[in-house]
Structure 1
């Protein structure tokens, strides 16, 4: 049960969806940010951007965000959940492009601290073909998900435990977006 009364059934509105229903005036800009970062036209496909969100959420041990964004990534990546699981378990041996691997290393550094991002990490991403927009957006996705993770866990929201419970949300996000 959430730490505050969100005024919703937590099983019907798990994770971030409950707090967003509770404060729609703050939900709107947060959803707009997620929509821009994860779904707007970009050189990185939406599945890869969702994978960055899932990776950071996993590092932060945020069950709801990790599970939901893992599902969102999986339905948009050819290799599906097996790739998401491999990235989360062992990034360096996962079958992702060298550019995505370098960007995920940047995201992991952001999760630790913004100051953990080094010129070497940036240079490594550039050497693999990442441009400044991709690097910028990777840092912002990682930073935003640190905030989203703390929002969800800081309010003690409910997170379904079964991965299949996240598939309807994944279908909705892919079809409709983040509610903007």
Structure 2
């Protein structure tokens, strides 16, 4: 049960956005730029970063949402998302993706946890400065989103189908589009 009375029964951040639409606009715009804007990282890879950080933060709603969004946009689907969550070192991702996910994990622990060796490993694996920047910002933003969702004890459906259904909307329309 949420800590505050929300205007809708929508789960997670969606209920919070209905409650405070004036904050929803900028937060959705940030997600749109980070996860769907122009980038050399695919939308699926960026969603994978969001899902990975959300899993480290144990945010059920955000992990389940962004895992579904990543799975819908990655050829390997949910199997890959779950492999990354369960064992990043053994997951079948490129060395660049693994290095960026390690940076994201360091950000999740604390911004100062990202070290020169992490950045050097990402560069050595082919990551650009923009990709490193965006990984850090996605990870930092999702720490905020996760704490927003969990700090107000929002609802998180148990049924993975609920997240997969919402993934269809996000993949087609994005974060900034008005939700039905």
TM-score range, shorter chain: over 0.9
Give RMSD over aligned pairs. 0.6
CA distance in 1, matches of 2:105, 2:176: 27
Q: Cα distance, 1:179 vs. partner?
A: 2.3
Equivalent position of 1:114 in the other structure:
111
Equivalent position of 1:68 in the other structure:
65
- Aligned residue among 115, 134, 137 for 1:137: 134
Q: Cα distance, 1:145 vs. partner?
A: 0.1
Equivalent position of 2:164 in the other structure:
167
Number of aligned positions between the proteins: 177
Moved over 3 A (4+): none
Matches within 5 A, 1:4-43: 4-9=4-9, 13-43=10-40
CA distance in 2, matches of 1:119, 1:81: 32
Superposition TM-score, scaled by structure 2 size = 0.97
Gaps of 5+ in 2: none
Q: Cα distance, 1:138 vs. partner?
A: 0.1
Q: Cα distance, 1:161 vs. partner?
A: 1.1
